[in-house]
Amino acid sequence: MNSDKIRIAVFVSGGGTNLQALIDAQKGGILHSGEITLVVSSNPGAYAINRAAAAGIEAVTVCRKELGDQFEIQLLRVLDKHRIEMIVLAGFMSILSADFISHYENRIINIHPSLIPSFCGKGMYGLHVHEAALAYGVKVSGATAHYVTEVTDGGRIILQKAVRVRQDDTPESLQKRIMKQAEWDILPRAAQQVAKKLQKEKTDGHRPATI
Ligand code: GRF
């Protein structure tokens, strides 16, 4: 690995299609200022772990259910061991505490499947987001890549992409289209933007700030 590159951990819990988009972006040169050096799964059965293995990336499982109040301590230990400099939450189904986030201030990003500030915050994850969007009757939804702060889905926005809602959409069809058309596109590009900024700060010897 190129030692100038920002060492990235991708946090996952499920299928890992966003992880796959990041891996593909790395192979294709879109993500070039950072390198995915670790995948952390909160779920031992996540298919994302297979995707990491296929790409030759080390994966570890850190399970909140098993670890209880040691969960974040263990996460920090693993990140430290791998000298991780940036974290991408890609379908990670666990809320991180303000204390954990303070260790990686302006170094954690997330993908959310709506146009923030719509349909976000507590309880707005997975299909709930798309159910709420359809129930409201919005004609446009989309995805947002943003920094992670202690306010759920409240960190500074990095990139957004809109997706048209169809009259016959179900939560499932809307979810799929938003993933395909928006999430898999903007998450790798946002990761590149942040990695580039961190890389520059590392070279210049500055503390990270948001873009
Ligand atoms: C995506 O819809 C993402 O926006 C949400 O969880 C889903 C993750 O899918 N947070 P995958 O594991 O990346 O396939």
What CATH number corresponds to the domain at position 72? 3.40.50.170
Answer yes or no: is the C-beta of 208 below 6 A from any ligand 1 atom.
Answer: no
Kindly calculate the radius of gyration of the chain based on its CA atoms and give it in whole angstroms.
17
Structure tokens at 159: 């990139």
Residue type, 189: R
In a domain, 146, yes or no: yes
Quote the ligand 1 centre to 69 CA distance (angstroms): 25
Answer yes or no: is the C-beta of 85 below 6 A from any ligand 1 atom.
Answer: no
Reduced to 3 states (helix: H, G, I; strand: E, B; else coil), residue 41 is strand
| Domain count along the chain | 1
Beta strands in the chain (DSSP E): 6-12, 34-41, 59-61, 86-89, 108-112, 140-147, 157-164
Cα→Cα distances 168→30, 164, 174, 184, Å: 34, 12, 10, 23
At residue 123's C-alpha, the angle toward residues 74 and 65, to 5°, is 30
Tens of pLDDT along the chain (211 residues) come to: 556 999 999 999 999 999 999 999 999 999 999 999 999 999 999 999 999 999 999 999 999 999 999 999 999 999 999 999 999 999 999 999 999 999 999 999 999 999 999 999 999 999 999 999 999 999 999 999 999 999 999 999 999 999 999 999 999 999 999 999 999 999 999 999 999 999 999 988 877 677 7
Pocket test for ligand 1, best of 11, 17, 18 (most atoms within 8 A of CB): 18
Report the pLDDT value the prediction gives residue 1, as an integer from 0 to 100. Answer: 52
In a domain, 51, yes or no: yes
In a domain, 84, yes or no: yes
Quote the ligand 1 centre to 99 CA distance (angstroms): 24
Q: Whose CA is nearest to atom 11 of ligand 1?
A: 16
* Domain ranges, residue 131: 6-204
pTM of the model: 0.95
CB 130 within 8 A of CB 141: yes
Quote the ligand 1 centre to 151 CA distance (angstroms): 19
Encode 79-92: b = buried (16+ Cβ within 10 Å), e = exposed.
beebebbbbbbbbb
In a domain, 211, yes or no: no
Answer yes or no: is the C-beta of 90 below 6 A from any ligand 1 atom.
Answer: yes
